[in-house]
Amino acid sequence: MAVEGLVFNKEDGIATITFDRPEKLNAVTEAMRTEVHRIATELRSDDEVKVLIITGAGEAFSTGADASELTADYSGPIEPYILKRPLGWWTLPVRYFPKPTIAAIPGVVAGVTFSLALACDFRFASDKARFSMVFIKRGLVPDGGATYYLPRMVGTSKALELMLMGDTIDANEAERLGLVNRVVPHEELMKVTREFAARIASGPSVAIELIKKGVYKGAVGELEAQLDFETLAQRICFQTEDFKEGIASFLEKRQPKFKGR
């Protein structure tokens, strides 16, 4: 289903969601948020998809929720369905996506879509990228999981500074703080991101999904529980064709050709 302001494509094992309202700096509407939720949910069971990229058209990733809709939705009586769900409901299928996710950030990213980028496993930024927890300047609290993600990435004190000041930081500062994996020239952002995604897509899919699951479990779990998980995960991998290919390629001194099963 086509939704205005959102473009989706799938090629060579890589799915890409693009916010496409450059005239509005890709501010996301309710329809766009709903569609991101739908796509990410459906792709969970699509074995052809190995990596999910989220990006924005033009000079922005996204400046967050469309302000005109926020005014309409929250200034008057609030519909019961809105009251019952968390504001970041639409980002959860991205956060819990079983396969690797990458936010490719070409320019400004702010508000709830900054939270969405933090929910991804990797963040690649253009040298033109700018980051802002702008909520405080609107009299709001960071949402979309920002108060969960940001302190874990930059520490409590720095997270509070970014949230309470609402200042804009550039790509180099974001990289220094650990918010992004790489900063690349603007015109090379999608090329570099897709090359990285392609490397993942060509890998052993079962092992990759289990690695991602294990890392996130380990971030909140205990060592003994992790050892149990690793044992189970390794036994699953032992049963895959990719494990057999990995051993065969090592013995034959060649690069492995994984099939994702």
CATH for 205-251 is: 1.10.12
**Alpha-carbon span 94 to 144, nearest angstrom:** 11
Q: Which residue has the tokens 């057999």?
A: 244
pLDDT of residue 70: 66
**Which residues have a Cβ under 8 Å from the Cβ of 189 and sit 6 or more positions away?**
55, 104, 105, 106, 124, 125, 126
pLDDT surpassing 80 at residue 243: yes
Helices 241-251 and 205-220: crossing angle in degrees, nearest 10, is 110
pLDDT of residue 78: 59
Using pLDDT thresholds of 50, 70 and 90, give the confidence band for residue 174: very high
**Predicted TM-score (pTM) of this structure:** 0.92
Q: For 242, list phi and psi in degrees, rounded to 5.
A: -65, -35
3-state SS, residue 20:
coil
Using pLDDT thresholds of 50, 70 and 90, give the confidence band for residue 1: low
Q: Where does 17-88 have alpha helices with state H?
A: 30-43, 67-74, 80-84
pLDDT surpassing 60 at residue 73: no
Beta-bridged to residue 37, according to DSSP, are none
3-state SS, residue 129:
coil
**Alpha-carbon span 46 to 26, nearest angstrom:** 27
**Which residues have a Cβ under 8 Å from the Cβ of 201 and sit 6 or more positions away?**
12, 13, 14, 50, 51
**Alpha-carbon span 198 to 90, nearest angstrom:** 26
Q: Which residue has the tokens 């060592």?
A: 223
Mean pLDDT of the chain: 93
Residue bearing the bigger pLDDT, 156 or 86: 156
Share of the chain above pLDDT 70, in %: 93
Structural domain boundaries in the chain = 6-201, 205-251
pLDDT surpassing 90 at residue 74: no
Read off the pLDDT of each residue in 113-134 and give the average, rounded to a whole number. 97
Query: Do 164 and 141 contact (CB within 8 A), yes or no?
Result: no
Pairing of strands 14-19, 6-11: antiparallel
The Cα-based distances of 220 to 119, 179, 223, 237, 256 in angstroms read 16, 19, 10, 23, 33
The domain 6-201 having CATH identifier 3.90.226.10: the answer here is yes
Q: For 172, list phi and psi in degrees, rounded to 5.
A: -65, -40
Q: pLDDT of 78-106, one tens digit each?
A: 566 555 667 889 999 999 999 999 999 99
